[in-house]
């Protein structure tokens, strides 16, 4: 029991409704609304591919560099993390401070910058990116890329990354038509680089013809489509996380030690894998991961209602029950704070809470993969195996919580039991383990898809 916290209790419908209205539909719809206002008349396309993605935006020295500001802003609003890297000549057109203000990250310019390297080194930055896009890309940078030269930070990152790479060329129409530029572009396309544009029309120099940077409204859907190609794109995952609070009176509740970190790490990794993610979260101090729709609940009953509503209302491919749901709740909740001497504080009558994951695995619209967690202090694997059977789960991830391990920590080790056997994930950070589990889930779905196709 925790007498120091007020239970911020809401009715289930209110909780879900409020969240959907304020932040549940969150990044994607807010971006679409902004997109619609900003580019009135344009078709609003799916920008969800940007959710929780890391985009490295290269800006080179051309007049179209000013449009890269709008592109950075649009990608941020669509849920991406954007790191801008400028060539020194690009800074003659737009100040790095502008990009820093738009993205919240200092702009990287120099290859040999000791202070920047002390933070995220250039190789680390190359690995960080899910997508590298150079917009605008000048004729000079196109040539440098085609030749595989690495004479500044941007072209070095280009060679060092394993991410998808694209360029949006922008130059004078006569330059664009030059055979040397054509051969550089062909060479890059042959290496798998996506070349977006250029557009045709009136140019800053007064010429008319091909060479204009594609409009942001054109670039955004194309970049989103490239990013959406994650291993779980098209899948809907529902994940529960955190503890539940079961109120006794307005200031006291029953709960447990869960921090929600594992569930949040799973939600974040699933979004990064391209899935649509709904996180049903008990009270935690954590902020909602990028690209994730969060439904806030307080009690086990609210969590159960939220999950049942989700299953009835939408197709859910995978459910992960990472929440530490309270098994019992007080039979009655006092309207006023209970007082010593006046009220009987020595006994508390408890009733059983619904088993959220049992309800999911026995739902008419059951997800094809239901994954539970088993936090145990003894006989880890035996208890977990029994729980998998009893709750009708496909997989169960057992973790040892004896000696205060796991709760509130950043590291974990899971033993994932399936009908076929057992896989150990970790030890490692909860983020690393989340990615490992999501990789197994993605593999499971790719096998299911292959089998269906045959
Ligand atoms: N779970 C749930 N609803 C509950 C209790 C548990 O959905 N009311 C889920 C958890 O999210 C987890 C799994 O069931 O995925 C196992 O949770 P755990 O607390 O280990 O199991 P219990 O059923 O509570 O069993 P016990 O307390 O006896 O260990």
- At residue 74, the pLDDT reads 97
For ligand 1, atom 19: residue with the closest CA: 324
Question: Average of pLDDT values for 446-451?
Answer: 65
Same-domain pairing of 162 and 204: yes
Question: Average of pLDDT values for 423-452?
Answer: 85
Ligand 1 centroid to Cα of residue 374, in Å, is 7
| Count of C-beta atoms within a 10 Å radius of residue 359 | 16
Same-domain pairing of 182 and 312: no
Instruction: List the CATH number of the domain containing 137.
Output: 3.40.50.1950
Q: Is the pLDDT of residue 15 over 50?
A: no
Give the residue from 142, 116, 130, 129 showing the smallest Cα distance to 60.
142
For ligand 1, atom 22: residue with the closest CA: 327
- At residue 61, the pLDDT reads 97
How many domains are there within the chain? 2
pLDDT tens digits, residue range 49-58?
Answer: 898 889 999 9
**d(Cα 81, Cα 28) in Å, to the nearest integer?**
14
* Top mutation candidate among 239, 256, 356, 369 for ligand 1, by most atoms within 8 Å of CB: 356
- Whether 40 is in a domain gets the answer no
For ligand 1, atom 27: residue with the closest CA: 327
Same-domain pairing of 193 and 298: no
Is 205 annotated as catalytic? yes
pLDDT tens digits, residue range 1-11?
Answer: 333 332 333 33
For ligand 1, atom 8: residue with the closest CA: 355
Instruction: List the CATH number of the domain containing 344.
Output: 3.40.50.10300
Report the pocket of ligand 1 as residue ranges, CB < 6 Å: 240, 300, 321, 323, 325, 327, 353, 355-357, 372-375, 387
Ligand 1 centroid to Cα of residue 256, in Å, is 12
Give the residue from 264, 289, 268 showing the smallest Cα distance to 408.
264
Question: Average of pLDDT values for 280-291?
Answer: 91
Among residues 212, 227, 242, the one where a domain terminates is: 227
- Whether 38 is in a domain gets the answer no
Q: Which is the catalytic residue, given 205, 301, 318, 416?
A: 205
Same-domain pairing of 212 and 234: no
Ligand 1 centroid to Cα of residue 219, in Å, is 46
**d(Cα 172, Cα 203) in Å, to the nearest integer?**
7
Question: Average of pLDDT values for 18-47?
Answer: 48
CB 396 within 8 A of CB 416: yes
Question: Average of pLDDT values for 74-82?
Answer: 95
Same-domain pairing of 406 and 352: yes
- At residue 41, the pLDDT reads 43
- At residue 116, the pLDDT reads 81
Tokens of 165: 């790479």
Ligand 1 centroid to Cα of residue 292, in Å, is 24
Same-domain pairing of 215 and 284: no
Same-domain pairing of 172 and 297: no
pLDDT tens digits, residue range 218-271?
Answer: 999 999 988 877 788 889 999 999 999 999 999 999 999 999 999 999 999 998
Burial group, residue 169, by CB count within 10 angstroms (0-12, 13-18, 19+)? buried
* Top mutation candidate among 387, 393, 415 for ligand 1, by most atoms within 8 Å of CB: 387
Kind and range of the H or E run holding 125: helix 122-128
Q: Is the pLDDT of residue 43 over 60?
A: no
**Boundaries of domain holding 91:** 47-227
For ligand 1, atom 18: residue with the closest CA: 374
**d(Cα 387, Cα 383) in Å, to the nearest integer?**
6
| Verdict on whether the full-model pTM lies above 0.85 | no
- Whether 5 is in a domain gets the answer no
For ligand 1, atom 21: residue with the closest CA: 374
- Whether 407 is in a domain gets the answer yes
Ligand 1 centroid to Cα of residue 96, in Å, is 51
Nearest atom in ligand 1 to 320's CA? 15
Ligand 1 centroid to Cα of residue 387, in Å, is 8
pLDDT tens digits, residue range 130-153?
Answer: 899 999 999 999 999 999 999 999
């Amino acid at each position: 029991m925790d007498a120091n916290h007020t239970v911020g209790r809401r009715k289930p419908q209110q909780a879900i409704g409020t969240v959907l209205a304020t932040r549940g539909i969150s990044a994607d719809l807010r971006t679409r609304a902004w997109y619609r206002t900003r580019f009135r008349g344009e078709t609003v396309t799916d920008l969800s591919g940007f959710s929780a993605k890391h985009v490295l935006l290269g800006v080179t020295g051309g007049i179209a560099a000013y449009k890269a500001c709008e592109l950075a802003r649009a990608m941020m609003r669509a849920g991406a993390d954007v790191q801008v890297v400028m060539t020194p000549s690009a800074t003659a057109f737009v100040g790095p401070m502008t990009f820093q203000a738009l993205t919240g990250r200092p702009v990287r310019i120099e290859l040999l910058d000791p202070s920047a390297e002390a933070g995220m080194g250039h190789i680390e930055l190359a690995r960080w990116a899910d997508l590298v896009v150079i917009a605008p890309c000048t004729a000079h940078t196109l040539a440098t890329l085609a030749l595989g030269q690495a004479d500044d930070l941007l072209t070095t990152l280009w060679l060092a990354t394993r991410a998808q790479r694209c360029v949006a060329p922008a130059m004078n129409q006569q330059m664009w038509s030059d055979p040397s530029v054509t051969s550089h572009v062909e060479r890059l396309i042959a290496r798998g680089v996506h070349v977006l544009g250029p557009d045709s029309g009136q140019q800053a120099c007064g010429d008319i013809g091909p060479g204009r940077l594609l409009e942001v409204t054109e670039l955004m859907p194309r970049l989103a489509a490239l990013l959406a190609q994650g291993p779980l794109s098209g899948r809907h995952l529902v994940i529960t996380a955190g503890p539940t609070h079961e109120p006794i009176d307005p200031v006291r509740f029953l709960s447990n030690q869960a921090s929600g970190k594992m569930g949040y790490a799973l939600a974040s990794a699933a979004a990064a894998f391209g899935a649509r993610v709904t996180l049903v979260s008990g009270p935690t101090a954590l902020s909602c991961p990028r690209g994730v729709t969060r439904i806030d609940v307080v009690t086990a009953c609210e969590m159960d209602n939220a999950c049942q509503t989700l299953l009835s209302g939408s197709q859910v491919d995978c459910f992960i029950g990472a929440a530490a749901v309270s098994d019992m709740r007080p039979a009655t909740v006092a309207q006023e704070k209970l007082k010593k001497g006046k009220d009987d504080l020595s006994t508390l009558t408890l009733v059983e809470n619904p088993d959220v994951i049992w309800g999911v695995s026995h739902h008419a619209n059951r997800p094809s993969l239901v994954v539970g967690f088993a936090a145990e202090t003894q006989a880890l694997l035996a208890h977990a195996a029994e729980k998998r059977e009893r709750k009708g789960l496909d997989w169960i991830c057992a973790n040892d919580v004896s000696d205060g391990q796991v709760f509130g920590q950043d590291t974990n080790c899971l033993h994932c039991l399936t009908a076929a056997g057992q896989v150990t994930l970790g030890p490692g950070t909860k983020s690393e383990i989340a990615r490992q589990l999501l990789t197994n889930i993605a593999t499971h779905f790719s096998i299911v898809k292959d089998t269906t196709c045959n």
